[in-house]
Structure 1
Amino acid sequence: MKGNSSLITGIILVGGKSRRMGTDKAFLKIEGISLFERVLQVMEENFTSVLLIGNCRERYFRYNLPVIPDQYSGSALGGLYTGLKSSSTELVFVAPCDMPFPSSQLIRLICSMSDGFDVVVPRTRNGLEPLFAVYRKTCLEPMRRFLEKGHYRIYDFYSEVAVRYLEEEEMAWAVDEGRSLINLNTPRELITLKEKELCL
């Protein structure tokens, strides 16, 4: 996606509290590499500009990337709004900091669908993946209205914009049997994942 890398900003949400994990999950390691660094690697492969969005934490400063505090703290929608508003490009691709196997192929596929749409979001049998998706600046105003009303579920504002749902069969080749959309929230999920990886 080198030709489009300067037209889309990569956004990594780093503001989660990791309450269910009990520790900062962004720096948990799989095969010696932290979840955050795994996400960062694929984002830097695909985008010229990458922003970190979340209340500033010193441990991110060493990556020499902009770390921008949430304008509406306490929700992923607030982080997404902050990243979209802060970007210098019309489009952003957002990812959370807790994905062990993010896929460059899937990122490129999602971004390739953005013409004529405000949102491009994967949809699987497990539901929508609004935190591994493309957003256009036209989303800012409906996002702001929902945030001001205290509605923080990301896809609630989708009814007010043009959304391209990327269906499971369209992206089957890019998701590596579902691994590409995994994120980790609890210690049990981390243990289960490591056990599965040892069996591969």
Structure 2
Amino acid sequence: MILNHQSFLVTVTKSPNPSCPSRSAAILAGGNSQRFGSNKALAPWFTGYVIDAVVQAAMSACQEVIIIANEPEPYSYSGVPIFPDILPGLGPLAGLQSALRHARAERIFLLGCDMPLLNSELLDLMWEIPTWAPVVIPGTPQGLEPLHAIYHKSLLPIVDHQINSGNLSLQFLLEDIPCHIVSPADILKICPSFKCLTSANTPEELAGLEKFAHTNSQSCHESLLIKKDWIID
């Protein structure tokens, strides 16, 4: 399904530089975590941290993974390149701006840092969808999930303009450009109960996801296998 709210043309081309990755992922780790009470990206998750599970799933589906964070020190252990917002403190849209600026691929998978049950099979499915739309985004019963979506680099001038105009709504951006929406039915074939798209905004929500992972270990195996060299001693 493609939503097209206005005339919009994107020319999707392969990078002329063969050394550039065809798939990049950018993990946003710059939120205030006010509801969580502490940095939710570094909340314990089995043998590592929540963000470790996100990094691992992204690495399974992408050649390049970067983290967008205004305070890089907490994530330096990961070995993943870290870039700040170009304009700090302006929320997810500014994170997307930095991701589009710094990631090397033509298309960037934007991911929240608080989805420990990310599924690389769903990431692959979204990458492989043939579409001219500049955004590929999952649809759920609660609506679209903009922090589990693919954005084309050609959107950068539009994002720049929207930020410069003072509109910081990522949802507003999606209302003005064509989006290829992955149907809930296709998602459910891979991701039971949409748990792989579920954010942990509170400690209670994280505990619920951990319980789900324990009782569904086969479908959640990636999030349980945190690489040892990502763990702080």
Give the structure-2-normalised TM-score: 0.78
Give me the whole-angstrom Cα distance separating, in 2, the residues matched to 1:11 and 1:22: 24
- Note the 1:1-200 alignment, pairs <5 A: 6-74=21-89, 75-113=91-129, 115-196=131-212
**How many Å apart are 1:41 and its aligned residue?**
0.5
Structure 1 residues 114, 70: CA separation in 2 closer, same or farther (over 3 Å shift)? farther
| Partner SS for 1:178 | helix
1:47–1:127 Cα change, 3 Å: same
More off after superposition, 22-31 vs 157-166: 157-166
- Name the CA distance, whole Å, in 1 between partners of 2:188 and 2:198: 14
Deviations 1:131-167 (CA, angstroms, capped at 9, x unpaired): 0010001111111121112222212122443210112
For 1:16 and 1:60, the matched residues in 2 are separated by 14
Compute the displacement of 1:40 (Å): 0.5
Give the Å deviation of 1:195.
4.8
Query: Aligned pair count?
Result: 196
> How far apart, CA to CA, are the structure 2 residues paired with 1:93 and 1:187?
26
Q: Please say if residues 56 and 68 of structure 1, whose CA atoms lie closer than 8 Å, have aligned partners that are also in contact.
A: no
Structure 1 segments, 4+ long, off by >3 Å, are 191-200
Q: 1:158 aligns to what SS in structure 2?
A: helix
Taking structure 1 as reference, are residues 100 and 146 closer, same or farther at Cα in structure 2, changes over 3 Å only? same
The answer (yes or no) to whether the contact 1:72–1:147 under 8 Å persists in 2 is no
The one-letter amino acid paired with 1:128 is L
Question: Does the 8 Å CA contact 1:114/1:134 hold for their aligned counterparts?
Answer: no
Kindly indicate whether the alpha-carbon contact (under 8 Å) linking 1:52 and 1:68 is maintained by their aligned counterparts in 2.
yes
The percentage of counterpart residues that share the same residue type is 28
The answer to whether the Cα contact below 8 Å between 1:53 and 1:69 also exists between their aligned partners in 2 is yes
Mapped partners of 1:50, 1:169: distance in 2 = 28
* In 2: Cα distance, 1:6 partner to 1:115 partner: 19
CA contact (8 A) 2:195 2:209 kept: no
Amino acid at match of 1:50: V
Separation of aligned partners in 2, 1:197 and 1:164: 29
Report the Cα distance in structure 1 between the residues aligned to 2:92 and 2:186, rounded to whole angstroms: 26
For the Cα contact (< 8 Å) 2:140–2:194, is it kept in 1? no
User: Which structure has the larger Rg over C-alpha atoms?
Assistant: 2
Three-state SS of the structure 1 residue aligned to 2:87 is coil
Question: What's the Cα RMSD here?
Answer: 1.8
* Structure-2 change in CA distance of 1:172 and 1:61 (3 Å): same
- Residues 40 and 115 of structure 1: is their aligned pair in 2 closer, same or farther, counting only changes over 3 Å? same
Look up the equivalent residue of 2:137 and give its one-letter code.
Answer: V
Q: Distance in 1 between matches of 2:64 and 2:170?
A: 23
1:17-36, Cα deviation, whole Å (9 max, x unpaired) = 11111111111123233110
